[in-house]
Chains A and B, each alone.
Chain A
Amino acid sequence: MSAEALETSDVVAQAGAPPHPLVQFWSDFRANFGAVAGLVVIVVLVLLALLADVVAPHSPVLTNNAAFLKPPFWQQGGSTAYPLGTDAIGRDILSRLIHGARLSLLIGIAVVTLSVVTGTVLGLVAGFFRGVTEVAIMRLMDITLTLPSLLLAIVIVAILGPGLMNAMLAVAIVLLPHYVRIARAAVISEVSKDYVIAAKVAGAGRLRLMFKEVLPNCTAPLIVQATLGISTAILDAAALGFLGLGAQPPLPEWGTMLADAREFVLRAWWVVTLPGLAILVTVLAFNLLGDGLRDALDPKLKR
């Protein structure tokens, strides 16, 4: 019986022959200039992060007593030895920015992975079990959403103590409700569909239904939200770093670099301008990519 069913479905697939979903997705995505630009920037950043030890001209933490607050090479007093100048204790800004890319991408990916995995599981559980479990999970998420995101992150860091790991954990908790809500909404709309009922009738267990049947059909909105989540994670972690609650010096995290640079705003524009520009470009790239993914993955928006 099941073999027969498989054969028929094969035949149907060949006869209709629509383009492979991935091919369709790529052609939609490619038409979006902003999304492609975002992707290019992200690829460059990833390469820089991976090859940071090779590409960076200096160590990100080593200080040079002979070169405090040296301007970038195009300004008077600058030299090509330090292309983007040095900070107040003689560290090369370019090298710190490159190593900072490694940190920021790591923060974004780690935070979102933690948040997406936990959030999806909680959302699946809420959507499947309904009743008291659902109410408890969703109420908790509503409360988390009521508090302004940075305030909640700050409170969590204040309790756990400042530091990169705790800041990442705090941001992951702040992002959590979005994924729980998306996963739950997707589950609720999928559960009543015929294929899930068919799988249930065929004797699939709860776990199998949750992870093998329903989850693959909820991935599109989760992927979009995860991409946008990376930009939020990088931005929030940098804000915590700026407030002195995130990565601690001498780590070359961009927000922490800005916090160090604040007092030199009057004397050295480059120590303030460049790390922020790096944050802006990275966050913008992920937002462009996320918007592009949403347009390409959401059938409702297709022309």
Chain B
Amino acid sequence: MLRFIFTRLSLVVPTFIGITLLVFVLIRLIPGDPIETMAGERGIDPARHAQLLKEYGFDQPVLVQYGLYLSRLVHGDLGRSIVTHEPVISEFQTLFPATIELSVCAILFALCLGLPAGVIAAVRRNSIFDHGVMGISLTGYSMPIFWWGLLLILLFSVQLGWTPVSGRIAVQYYIEPVTGFLLIDALLAGDVGAFRSALSHLVLPMIVLGTVPLAVIARMTRSAMLEVLGEDYIRTARAKGLPRWRVIAIHALRNALIPVVTVIGLQVGVLFTGAILTETIFSWPGVGKWLIEAINRRDYPVLQGGTLLIGTIVMVVNLLVDVTYGLINPRIRYTR
């Protein structure tokens, strides 16, 4: 098992270096030199320009610049935002919990609906319920979620007035950040009103972001269950006279969950893609909205640092999923 983990870990290092290289090269591809870009349309006088070039190390050969970039990275320095002059890393740290809170709730939403729907669809194969679940999940999978969000706002916020249109909490509440997750912080502060407000702000973005994972989980659960239900040991369990629900919920589901767990892990990338769109629609103060604003303001250090951080996080989560998969399914460990 240790060997398996080490082989997986050894693959992570080149990938990480690759991501830093990609991000470094991409930003260098922007026409014009970085100082001019930072100065923007106001321009900059030549003496100051030369001084800044030297200060940031842009007069060095590209390889040296990459080395400098890496050594700054190792020290946790991802540069400063051109607009706010705040360190990129600290901006990321403030905004990231909002994205995590939204993503975790979205995945929970997807699991709570997707798992039972997939199981029931598999058990009642070819029934109306099965066809319904498959049809709805293919529709969910094809959904342009930026439009789906607008539709939900139109129905629940505008027509019915049940939920707020945007933001994370109503302005009258201030919750001292402890964990960064508003739902938990509100409960810790014992403020029920704030908790309800945060929850009502969360519902629509959660549904929007959870839609694609929901579709994927329902489809995956169904096909994994169908495969497992055809196995001999299931027939044996039934022949022993075990109750039907026990065979399905305990014998079959446990094995069917293995591929489902992997799929959930692999949804991290999908969640970030979705978070960029969802946060933009609902003005949710997370890293997705932050990156889009960075592009609109041509704030390249933020774009560079944010991309690197998100890429690294996705990579680490994928690694964890791989290792967990090896832990729960010994067959994988030995065939690699």
Contact = CB atoms under 8 A, between A and B. Distances in A.
Contacts of A34: 138
Interface stretch (B25-33, B57-65, B178-186, B202-210): B25-33
A40 interface: no
Interface stretch (B108-116, B122-130, B247-255, B271-279): B271-279
A233 interface: no
A149 to B, nearest CB: 6
Given A143-B22, A159-B29, A243-B292, A151 B150 contact: no
A276 B310 CA distance: 28
B147 A139 contact: no
Nearest to B298: A158
Nearest to B312: A146
Nearest to A231: B142
A266 B146 contact: no
Interface of A: 34, 139-140, 142-143, 146-151, 154-156, 158-159, 231, 235, 238-239, 242-245, 255, 258, 262, 265-266, 269, 272-273, 275-277, 279-280, 283-284, 287-288, 291
Contact of B277 (A150, A159, A275): A150
Contacts of B153: 265
Given A265-B158, A272-B150, A287 B142 contact: yes
A243 B273 contact: no
- 7 closest residue pairs by CB, A with B: A276-B147, A148-B272, A150-B273, A143-B18, A283-B142, A284-B142, A148-B269
B257 to A, nearest CB: 23
A56 B78 CA distance: 52
Interface centre among A155, A266, A280, A287 (most CB of B within 10 A): A155
Nearest to A275: B147
A159 B30 CA distance: 5
Interface in B136-166: 138-139, 141-144, 146-148, 150-151, 153-154, 158
A96 B22 CA distance: 38
B307 interface: yes
A146 B138 contact: no
B318 interface: yes
B89 interface: no
Contacts of A231: 142
B307 A147 contact: yes
Given A147-B311, A266-B158, A158 B147 contact: no
Interface residues of B, number: 42
B150 A258 contact: yes
A159 B26 contact: yes
Interface of B: 14-15, 18-19, 22-23, 26-27, 29-30, 138-139, 141-144, 146-148, 150-151, 153-154, 158, 269-270, 272-273, 276-277, 280, 291-292, 295-296, 303, 307, 310-311, 314-315, 318
Given A148-B314, A150-B276, A279-B144, 8 more contacts: A34-B138, A140-B18, A155-B26, A244-B296, A245-B295, A279-B147, A280-B142, A291-B138
B272 A151 contact: yes
26 contacts: A139-B15, A139-B18, A140-B18, A146-B314, A146-B318, A147-B311, A148-B273, A148-B314, A150-B273, A151-B291, A154-B292, A159-B27, A159-B30, A238-B144, A243-B277, A245-B295, A258-B146, A265-B150, A272-B151, A272-B154, A273-B151, A273-B154, A276-B144, A276-B151, A283-B142, A287-B138
A280 B296 CA distance: 27
B73 to A, nearest CB: 16
B15 A265 contact: no
A71 to B, nearest CB: 15
Contacts of A243: 276-277, 280, 292
Contacts of A277: 147
Given A156-B26, A243-B292, A280 B147 contact: yes
